[in-house]
């Protein structure tokens, strides 16, 4: 699956190449081209309701699923020293409206640290729970995207300290939000390690910078298997803005260890922005570099676990209409039930 619901990060990317603040038209034009060119390669495309849906949705092929985000871009700085993050739902938007707009699924991005301030942790859990209840009410799949972040004094995103802690941070949020009370259908999570600190890649395989390894590949594979064990529902990995070569390795490792694929954003298409505002050049890069990235990702995810083989379904024979029979529709609840 492909993600093009970025707002704040895409604005920053555009400003970097144009030298000015990005406008609505800037974001809409780039999103339109990405959806138009790359969605045919995707099983589903995730877009935002503000910049993406109004212009880009009509370019989505009919056989490709549509996912819509429900959170505000960015986060509300909170907690001690305002270093923690609270997710905010997009004002004036709702799961009900996502359903009415014709989407096939809802996506919520949730920043989460289990060891954060109790008030922040409870806020994040409550938002995830609320969206899950609404998705169940309106009978629409719920994709929960989970992202940890450094906020302690000894933490930096690119550091041995944070690399060591990352597996447990991922385990903790997967264990929490796999609970039935959240009603999540798919977990979109970070790769449970930093490959730049993995022994087999720590010599600068991705960016030329050598680092002190904190785990080896066998341990990283075990981390992915632990995510599979904890998640129960299908899980896919997000790219978190890493380069495509690093993400390809992550997808290949995760897929053979139980992941059900990827929901990739910037790693897939980010270099097209370098050609903006030349829209012809942007489109040409997407048709070549972007399409090639998609083909490589499909090859890397060849061993991914089909959703029906996850713990939640226990095999394809168990994928069936509840109460199937000639009168099933009589007991099938409506939205107001």
Domain boundaries, the chain: 2-331
Enter the pTM of the model.
0.96
Convert the pLDDT of each residue in 1-30 to its tens digit. 999 999 999 999 999 999 999 999 999 999
Residue 260 DSSP one-character state = -
Tens digit of pLDDT at every position of the chain (337 positions): 999 999 999 999 999 999 999 999 999 999 999 999 999 999 999 999 999 999 888 899 999 999 999 999 999 999 878 999 999 999 999 999 999 999 999 999 999 999 999 999 999 999 999 999 999 999 999 999 999 999 999 999 999 999 999 999 999 999 999 999 999 999 999 999 999 999 999 999 999 999 999 999 999 999 999 999 999 999 999 999 899 999 999 999 999 999 999 999 999 999 999 999 999 999 999 999 999 999 999 999 999 999 999 999 999 999 988 889 999 999 888 887 6
Q: How many CB atoms lie within 10 A of CB 296?
A: 17
β-pair partners for 105: 67
Query: For domain 2-331, which architecture applies?
Result: Alpha-Beta Barrel (3.20)
HSE-up of residue 243 (Cα within 13 Å, Cβ side): 9
Convert the pLDDT of each residue in 262-282 to its tens digit. 999 999 999 999 999 999 999
Distance separating alpha carbons of residues 157 and 299, to the nearest angstrom: 29
Nearest residue to 44 (alpha-carbon basis) of 71, 62, 70: 62
Q: In terms of C-beta density within 10 A (0-12 exposed, 13-18 middle, 19 or more buried), how is residue 175 classed?
A: middle
CA 68 to mean position of chain CA atoms: 12
DSSP per position, 195-229: GGGBTTTTTTTTTS------B-HHHHHHHHHHHHH
């Amino acid at each position: 699956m492909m993600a093009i619901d970025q707002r704040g990060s895409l604005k920053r990317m555009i400003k970097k190449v144009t030298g000015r603040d990005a406008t609505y038209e800037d974001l809409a034009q780039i999103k339109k081209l990405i959806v138009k060119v790359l969605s045919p390669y995707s099983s589903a495309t995730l877009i935002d309701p503000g910049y993406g849906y109004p212009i880009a949705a009509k370019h989505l092929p009919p056989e490709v699923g549509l996912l819509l985000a429900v959170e505000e871009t960015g986060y509300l700085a909170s907690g001690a020293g305002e270093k923690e993050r609270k997710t905010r739902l997009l004002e004036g938007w709702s799961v009900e409206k996502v359903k009415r707009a014709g989407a096939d699924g809802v996506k919520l991005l949730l920043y989460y640290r289990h060891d954060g301030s109790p008030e922040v942790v409870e806020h994040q859990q409550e938002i995830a729970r609320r969206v899950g209840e609404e998705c169940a009410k309106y009978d629409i799949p719920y994709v929960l995207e989970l992202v940890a972040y450094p906020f302690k004094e000894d933490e930096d995103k690119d550091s041995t300290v944070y690399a060591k802690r990352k597996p447990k941070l991922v385990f903790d949020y997967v264990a929490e939000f796999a609970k039935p009370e959240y009603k999540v259908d798919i977990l979109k999570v970070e790769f449970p390690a930093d490959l730049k600190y993995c022994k087999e890649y720590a010599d600068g395989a991705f960016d030329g910078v050598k680092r002190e390894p904190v785990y080896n590949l066998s341990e990283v594979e075990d981390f992915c298997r632990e995510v599979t064990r904890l998640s129960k529902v299908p899980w896919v990995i997000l790219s978190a803005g890493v380069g495509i070569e690093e993400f390809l390795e992550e997808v290949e490792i995760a897929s053979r260890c139980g992941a059900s694929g990827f929901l990739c954003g910037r790693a897939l298409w980010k270099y097209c922005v370098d050609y903006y505002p030349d829209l012809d050049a942007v489109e040409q890069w997407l048709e070549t570099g972007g399409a090639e990235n998609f083909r490589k990702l499909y090859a890397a995810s060849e061993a991914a676990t089909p959703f029906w083989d996850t713990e939640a379904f226990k095999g394809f024979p168990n994928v069936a209409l509840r109460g199937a029979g000639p009168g099933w529709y009589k007991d099938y609840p409506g939205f107001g039930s």
